[in-house]
């Protein structure tokens, strides 16, 4: 199963702290060796300030070893530095404690007036923001995400968008919101960040490479939001597939994201139209990236190889089951994938034997019959079951050319009439007005 | 200016006139001479003006005659007529009603020329539309006009050789001397009166037959001039007394000229002496020569050699320098320097001088150098590079000036640029190859040098990687790329299939490295573009379809390539050709077609790929044009096989077009996918009797026909057979794979065609029968049919239990399909109606919303609608 695991590929585009949930998930799934995972965690932690956590993991890894002195010292150091920073931003934290002030601050649009207001009444200095930013970062490194969100929120209010720290504040905010699992505001931050990146290529000095990198990060980070937020499934398609910049980034930097995009499209029944575009992209990138999910789509919509699709669907099961982001939509995926196979089947066939269908859908015949009956009952399928032969007979009759013709001309007369009526009305109105103006 | 000068100069001005300013002098001399006729000054000035106008126009006409620019000639002729009318009173007064002879001459010449042009029917056909029109009208006008001058012309024709005016002769006189053309015009102007005074019958004018062609004096060489001048001078000495002064001046001038000649001669002599002196030396053995090169007892040291070297080099580029001897001389110097162990630096310097003098040996840039010099050049170059490589402390750069060169101690500094010499060498090599007949042994012999050139490039590359700047490294890398990109390296394919260890460096990796450097470091866009193109070419050549495609897509070159220089465009075309071939090998028929269609549409892929010049029908190329185009040509070993290209294109077109044709048989809006392919089809249809196919095109056409009928086997055998194998398919590296791919595609496409064409005769078809018929796997058939059903190309559905395709029989009949088309058109019509209304009055839904407010505006708009409807009515009236 390790074959389809993307954690190592994704890790390079994620923040250290964001990798933790992934690793936790992996250790729960027991795909990799536990000690290796622990080592990886330790490695990640070494650069953060979560010393306690690091010590914990060390104990798990090497139960017999003593905790090295160096770590203990670091802990002391971290704590002292934290206090130092805390003192520096004392005035701000006071302000932040005051709800009323915060409310008035929120109502102020301009960061300049805000700064004036603050420095007048609360002996605030602009340098403090720098320290606050540092403190937020420090808190974040310590794993104290919720505190860091509130600090960063303050930063965002005060800093003008062209400040050099603004971008890092945005990133920090998004990361902390994700880590405290506050999806609503995470989505907000995500949009803010995206706008910031898209709207101002000059922030990166016109360096398209850097821009591409920022977008790639954003794509990866956004996965957390999209697969946890209720609206995420719509938005992920919108952002990944229909924003050329991001599609470009996916194609050049991280084609493995196609897995998530494909899943999102499959489970989103309302967006069948996106399938065509998606299949095109998948085909284009098929040489750099393929996994059971993209292959499933390819089999179904490019080759019409239902056997292949069935096999891939089976594989998809395991892939989804072992993916941090996708595990929650496993049920939905399977259901929708089945439906997709069945739909395509129905469009091509006029008569299908239930046995074969059941086989193609990974079901047993009775179950399949039940499933089809349900579909028919819900009026999503115009078909009848010939239970003697065990066939499903499609009801839809093809359009005869005569009907087609009539359908085409049907609305023309009405449309023309309204047009004529409109012109007539205008003419009359004009005459009336003429007359009216003459009067004056 | 000259007149101004003339009035200002009185009699003693000629004494003050300096000898140095010769070109200027011409003017005062002649003006001086007409100072003697001060009497009629005022009259003459108007006359001068008129005459000058005329002569200028005549000159223009002569020029136009030479380039056969009829339309300009016509306008000039009209101007001339007008000018003559203006000049008429003057002429009446001066010549007593006689037409001036030069004017008559011009008319006569023009007439002759027009007649000649008119007679030359082939030539006339080749004229552009504009020109031939002008020719006709000019002919008419001239005829009409000439009638007035009948008498003069007949008189003139009796005695055409007589010089009309001396002006032409005089004009010629100052030319050889004058470096600028400033004095020429004044001379003409001022000389005229004298000429007239002398009359037409100068006694010795006969010995100088005036022919109109030479009158412009552009083609004469110097010697002829001098002789003529002398003759002329002689004549002037014989002139009357009142021209004494002029004569004197001329004498003076002549003397001075002689002086100069003498000086020149002396200089040449010196050079000659030097040359001879050197030749003698060249022949004799080295030790005995040495004293001649340097003084016998001179102690040869560094400074002496440097001095000698600069002496030799100084002669470079001079007219009389014997280039061959210079080369020998430098070789000589080299051996001397070697003998005395003067160090590497000076050796390198001398080598440099040798190399550049070899380059100089060939006076024409467009011609290739002689093979013996070429081999010499290569040897010297690689020797020099070896020397450079062995001694790190030598700095060669163009930034080193002559003064700061240092040959005596460790950080040697030498002026020069290895890269430029190398680039020149490479260019020479290409020229040399182009010179040879590509099918001869000579070409092969020359081509063997490619390895040497490549080795030299590698050496320079190594040198520059250490010493050169980034841009220089980019340049040398590009040179290397240009020697690499078109070569097929079988190692790459082995590497891909994993037959050889993964640490071998194939040309692919090399290209990757070089190109990436250029992408990152290059500042000029041109190098980068060329590097990308070569990189894609290389990828395509080695079947790396995806990489090649992605590079093309990412570079966005398609949009900007029209603005680049021709050689880059040629490279782009070559790249596209190979990309097409690569796509074909990967069975991406559509991509292959798209890549090749631009090359093939025009019908002259040969020119687009710079693999030969085609005769042009519309207009001849000028010599220069041809020369430039020849320079752009690719050497033969880099050519892309055109027949292969065309065949691949036609086969791709067939595979796309035939099913499409079958599917849209009744569709009125069917568009052609490939024009070239249609042409082939049509030309074969026009034949009353079609024999068995011979050429590649005939094969493809025959295959297309059998595909249309659903005979896949016949189609396949037309495409893949002995003849086609030798002609085309064997040219692919993995020919068998290509053939297998082709057979498969032919089967599939024929199946599709079959279903399109014959579905209306079936009620249902069993899939297994189809699979049998086309020898395809059943899943493949199933997949193809499913695809057709989904895309609504085939009105049918599958019946799973019986494994058959059931036709809906709902294909529209001819009448129905026409009706459908009509409905479509009406739909469009209604749509456009609505759109017109919308644009005419803005969005009326919006307007309805705020009807209360803007009365004025509404009024205005309503007025518009009114206008519009009136217009409509008018239109309708027009229709009925």
Q: pLDDT, tens digit, for every residue of A314-345?
A: 888 888 888 888 888 888 888 888 888 888 88
Residue B443 is predicted with a pLDDT of 84
Single out the residue of A98, A146, A143 nearest to residue A122, CA to CA.
A98
Q: Which residues contact B421 (CB under 8 A, 6 or more apart)?
A: B352, B355, B356, B359, B381
Across the strands, what pairs with B406? B413
- pLDDT value at B792 more than 70: yes
**Confidence class for position B257, pLDDT limits 50, 70, 90:** low
- pLDDT value at B596 more than 70: yes
How confident is the model over B187-246, as pLDDT tens digits? 444 444 444 444 444 444 444 444 444 444 444 444 444 444 444 444 444 444 445 555
Mean pLDDT of chain B: 72
Q: To the nearest whole angstrom, how far is the Cα of A316 from the nearest Cα of chain B? A: 22
CB contact under 8 Å between A415 and B830, yes or no, is yes
Taking the whole predicted model, whether its pTM rises above 0.90 is answered as: no
Partners of B795 on chain A (C-beta within 8 Å) are 398
Of B810, B858, B869, the CB nearest to A401: B810
How confident is the model over B97-108, as pLDDT tens digits? 677 777 777 788
| CB within 8 Å of chain A, chain B residues 520-579 | 546, 554
- pLDDT value at B565 more than 80: yes
Residue B403 is predicted with a pLDDT of 66
Token duo for residue A432: 């009336």
- Cα torsion B210, B213, B217, B221: sign: negative
Residue B312 is predicted with a pLDDT of 74
- Cα torsion B538, B539, B540, B543: sign: positive
Residue B679 is predicted with a pLDDT of 84
**Confidence class for position B580, pLDDT limits 50, 70, 90:** very high
Name the packing angle between helices A208-226 and A244-252 (round to 10°).
100
Three-state SS for B598? helix
Please give the angle made by the CA atoms of B584, B587 and B590, to the nearest 5 degrees.
Answer: 70
CB B846 within 8 A of CB A400: no
Whole-number percent of chain A with pLDDT over 90: 0
Spatial separation of the C-alpha atoms in residues B756 and B765, rounded to whole Å: 13
- pLDDT value at B646 more than 80: yes
Residue B872 is predicted with a pLDDT of 39
Residue A433 is predicted with a pLDDT of 63
Residue B816: closest C-alpha in chain A: A401
CB contact under 8 Å between A350 and B799, yes or no, is yes
Spatial separation of the C-alpha atoms in residues A75 and A57, rounded to whole Å: 15
How confident is the model over A12-47, as pLDDT tens digits? 888 888 888 888 888 887 777 778 888 888 887 777
CB contact under 8 Å between B826 and A356, yes or no, is no
Interfacial residues of A (vs B; Cβ cutoff 8 Å): 252, 287-288, 303-305, 307, 344, 347-353, 356, 389, 391, 394, 398-402, 404-405, 408-409, 412, 415-416, 419, 422-423, 426-427, 429-430, 433-434, 437
CB contact under 8 Å between A351 and B789, yes or no, is no
CB contact under 8 Å between B798 and A349, yes or no, is yes
- pLDDT value at A193 more than 60: yes
- Cα torsion B6, B8, B12, B17: sign: negative
Token duo for residue B738: 């290509």
Residues in chain A: 440
Q: Which residues contact A134 (CB under 8 A, 6 or more apart)?
A: A85
Mutate to test the interface with B, among A347, A398, A422, A439 (most CBs of B within 10 A): A398
CB contact under 8 Å between A350 and B795, yes or no, is no
Partners of B800 on chain A (C-beta within 8 Å) are 349, 351-353, 356
Average pLDDT over residues A99-126: 71
CB B576 within 8 A of CB B596: yes
**Confidence class for position B868, pLDDT limits 50, 70, 90:** very low
**Confidence class for position A236, pLDDT limits 50, 70, 90:** confident
Residue A433: closest C-alpha in chain B: B859
On whether any CB of chain A is under 8 Å from the CB of B854, the answer is no
Residue B261 is predicted with a pLDDT of 54
Of A349, A404, A426, the CB nearest to B862: A426
Question: A217-221, A432-436, B274-278, B502-506: which has the minimum mean pLDDT?
Answer: B274-278
Of B790, B798, B820, the CB nearest to A405: B820
Q: Which residues contact B355 (CB under 8 A, 6 or more apart)?
A: B377, B380, B381, B384, B421, B425
**Confidence class for position A394, pLDDT limits 50, 70, 90:** confident
How confident is the model over B79-128, as pLDDT tens digits? 888 887 877 777 777 666 677 777 777 788 878 877 877 777 776 667 77
Mutate to test the interface with A, among B583, B810, B836 (most CBs of A within 10 A): B810
**Confidence class for position A112, pLDDT limits 50, 70, 90:** confident
CB contact under 8 Å between B833 and A416, yes or no, is yes
Residue A338 is predicted with a pLDDT of 84
Residue B277 is predicted with a pLDDT of 42
Residue B359 is predicted with a pLDDT of 77
Mutate to test the interface with A, among B801, B835, B837, B871 (most CBs of A within 10 A): B801
């Amino acid at each position: 199963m390790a074959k389809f695991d993307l954690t190592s590929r994704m890790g390079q585009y994620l923040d250290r702290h964001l990798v933790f949930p992934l690793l936790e998930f992996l250790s729960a799934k027991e795909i990799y060796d536990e000690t290796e995972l622990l080592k990886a965690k330790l490695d990640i932690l070494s650069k953060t300030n979560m010393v306690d956590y690091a010590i914990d993991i060390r104990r798990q890894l090497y139960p017999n070893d003593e905790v090295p002195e160096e770590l203990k010292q670091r802990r002391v150091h971290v704590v002292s530095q934290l206090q130092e920073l805390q003192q520096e931003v004392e005035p701000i934290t006071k302000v932040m404690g005051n709800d009323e002030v915060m409310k008035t601050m929120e109502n102020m649009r301009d960061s300049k007036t805000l700064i004036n207001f603050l420095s007048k009444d609360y002996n605030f200095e602009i340098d403090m923001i720098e320290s606050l930013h540092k403190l937020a970062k420090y808190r974040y490194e310590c794993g104290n995400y919720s505190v860091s969100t509130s600090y960063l929120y303050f930063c965002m209010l005060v800093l003008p968008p062209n400040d050099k720290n603004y971008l890092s504040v945005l990133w920090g905010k998004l990361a902390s919101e994700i880590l405290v699992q506050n999806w609503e505001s995470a989505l907000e931050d995500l949009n803010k960040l995206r706008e910031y990146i898209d709207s101002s290529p000059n922030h990166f000095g016109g360096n398209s490479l850097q821009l591409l990198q920022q977008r790639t990060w954003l794509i990866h980070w956004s996965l957390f939001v999209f697969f946890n937020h209720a609206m995420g499934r719509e938005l992920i398609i919108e952002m990944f597939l229909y924003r050329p910049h991001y599609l470009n980034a996916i194609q050049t930097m991280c084609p493995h994201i196609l897995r998530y995009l494909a899943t999102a499209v499959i489970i989103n029944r309302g967006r069948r139209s996106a399938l065509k575009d998606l299949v095109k992209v998948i085909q284009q990138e098929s040489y750099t990236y393929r996994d059971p999910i993209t292959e499933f789509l390819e089999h179904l919509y490019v080759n019409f190889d239902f056997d292949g699709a069935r096999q891939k669907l089976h594989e998809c099961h395991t892939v989804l089951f072992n993916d941090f982001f996708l595990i929650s939509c496993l049920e939905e995926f399977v259901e929708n994938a089945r439906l997709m196979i069945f739909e395509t089947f129905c469009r091509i066939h006029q008569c299908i034997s239930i046995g074969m269908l059941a086989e193609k859908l990974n079901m047993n015949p009775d179950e399949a019959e039940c499933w089809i009956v349900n579909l028919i009952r819900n009026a999503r399928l115009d078909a009848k079951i010939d239970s003697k032969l065990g066939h499903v007979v499609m009801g839809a009759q093809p359009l005869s050319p005569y009907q087609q013709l009539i359908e085409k001309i049907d609305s023309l007369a009405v449309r023309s009439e309204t047009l004529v009526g409109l012109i007539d009305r205008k003419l009359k109105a004009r005459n009336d007005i003429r007359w009216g103006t003459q009067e004056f | 200016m000259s007149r101004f000068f003339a009035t200002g100069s009185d009699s003693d001005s000629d004494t003050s006139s300096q000898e140095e300013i010769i070109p200027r002098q011409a003017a005062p001399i002649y003006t001086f001479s007409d100072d003697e006729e001060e009497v009629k000054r005022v009259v003459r000035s108007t006359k001068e003006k008129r005459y000058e106008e005329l002569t200028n126009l005549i000159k223009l006409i002569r020029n136009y005659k030479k380039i056969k620019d009829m339309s300009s000639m016509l306008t000039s002729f009209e101007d001339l007529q007008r000018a003559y009318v203006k000049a008429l009173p003057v002429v009446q007064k001066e010549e007593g009603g006689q037409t001036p002879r030069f004017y008559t001459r011009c008319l006569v010449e023009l007439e002759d020329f027009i007649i000649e042009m008119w007679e030359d029917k082939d030539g006339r056909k080749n004229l552009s539309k504009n020109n031939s029109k002008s020719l006709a009208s000019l002919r008419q006008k001239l005829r009409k006009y000439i009638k007035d001058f009948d008498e003069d012309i007949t008189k003139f024709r009796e005695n055409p050789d007589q010089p009309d005016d001396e002006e032409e002769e005089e004009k010629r006189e100052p030319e050889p001397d004058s470096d600028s053309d400033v004095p020429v015009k004044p001379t003409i102007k001022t000389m005229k009166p004298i000429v007239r005074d002398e009359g037409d019958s100068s006694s010795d004018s006969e010995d100088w037959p005036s022919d109109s062609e030479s009158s412009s004096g552009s083609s004469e060489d110097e010697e002829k001039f001098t002789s003529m001048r002398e003759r002329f001078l002689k004549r002037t000495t014989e002139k009357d007394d009142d021209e004494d002064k002029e004569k004197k001046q001329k004498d003076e001038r002549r003397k001075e000229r002689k002086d100069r000649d003498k000086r020149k001669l002396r200089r040449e002599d010196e050079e000659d002496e030097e040359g001879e002196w050197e030749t003698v030396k060249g022949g004799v053995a080295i030790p005995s020569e040495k004293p001649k090169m340097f003084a016998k007892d001179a102690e040869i040291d560094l400074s002496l050699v440097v001095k000698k070297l600069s002496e030799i080099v100084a002669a470079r580029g001079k007219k009389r320098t014997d280039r061959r001897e210079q080369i020998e001389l430098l070789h000589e110097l080299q051996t001397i320097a070697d003998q005395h162990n003067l160090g590497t630096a000076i050796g390198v310097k001398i080598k440099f001088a040798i190399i550049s003098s070899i380059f100089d040996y060939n006076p024409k840039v467009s011609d290739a150098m002689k093979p013996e010099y070429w081999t010499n050049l290569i040897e010297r170059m690689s020797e020099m590079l070896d020397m450079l490589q062995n001694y790190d402390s030598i700095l060669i750069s163009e930034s080193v000036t002559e003064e700061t060169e240092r040959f005596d101690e460790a950080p040697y500094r030498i002026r020069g640029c290895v890269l430029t010499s190398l680039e020149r060498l490479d260019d020479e090599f290409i020229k040399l190859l182009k010179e040879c007949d590509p099918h001869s042994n000579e070409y092969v012999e020359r081509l063997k040098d490619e390895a040497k050139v490549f080795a030299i490039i590698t050496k320079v590359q190594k040198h520059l990687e250490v010493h050169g700047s980034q841009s220089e490294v980019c340049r040398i890398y590009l040179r290397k790329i240009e020697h690499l990109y078109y070569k097929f390296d079988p190692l790459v394919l082995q590497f891909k299939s994993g037959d050889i260890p993964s640490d071998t460096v194939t040309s692919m990796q090399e290209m990757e490295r070089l190109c990436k450097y250029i992408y990152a470091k290059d500042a000029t866009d041109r190098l980068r573009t060329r590097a990308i193109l070569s990189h894609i070419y290389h990828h395509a050549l080695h079947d790396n379809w995806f990489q090649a495609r992605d590079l093309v897509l990412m570079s966005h070159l398609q949009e900007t390539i029209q603005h680049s220089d021709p050689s880059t465009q040629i490279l782009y075309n070559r790249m596209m050709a190979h990309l097409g071939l690569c796509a074909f090998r990967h069975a991406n028929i559509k991509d292959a077609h798209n890549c090749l269609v631009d090359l093939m549409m025009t019908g002259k892929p040969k020119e687009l790929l710079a693999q030969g010049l085609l005769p042009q029908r519309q207009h001849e190329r000028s010599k220069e044009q041809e020369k430039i185009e020849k320079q752009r040509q690719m050497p033969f070993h880099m050519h892309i096989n055109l027949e292969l290209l065309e065949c691949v294109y036609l086969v791709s077109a067939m595979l796309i077009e035939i099913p499409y044709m079958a599917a849209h048989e009744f569709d009125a809006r069917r568009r052609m996918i490939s024009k070239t392919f249609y042409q082939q089809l049509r030309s074969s249809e026009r034949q009353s009797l079609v024999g068995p196919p011979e050429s590649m095109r005939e094969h493809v056409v025959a295959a297309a026909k059998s595909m249309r009928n659903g005979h896949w086997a016949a189609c396949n055998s037309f495409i893949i057979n002995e003849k086609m194998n030798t002609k085309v398919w064997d040219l692919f590296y993995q020919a068998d794979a290509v053939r297998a791919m082709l057979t498969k595609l032919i089967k599939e496409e024929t199946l599709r065609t079959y279903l399109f064409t014959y579905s209306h005769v079936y009620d249902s078809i069993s899939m297994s029968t189809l699979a049998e018929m086309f020898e395809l796997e059943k899943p493949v058939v199933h997949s193809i049919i499913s695809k057709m059903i989904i895309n609504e190309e085939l009105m049918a559905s599958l019946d799973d239990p019986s494994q058959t395709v059931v036709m809906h029989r709902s294909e529209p009949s001819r009448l129905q399909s026409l009706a459908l088309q009509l409905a479509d058109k009406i739909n469009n019509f209604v749509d456009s109606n609505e759109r017109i209304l919308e644009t005419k009055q803005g969005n009326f839904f919006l307007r309805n919303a705020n009807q209360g407010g803007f009365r004025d505006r509404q009024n205005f708009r309503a007025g518009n609608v009114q206008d519009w409807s009136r217009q409509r009515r008018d239109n309708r009236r027009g229709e009925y």
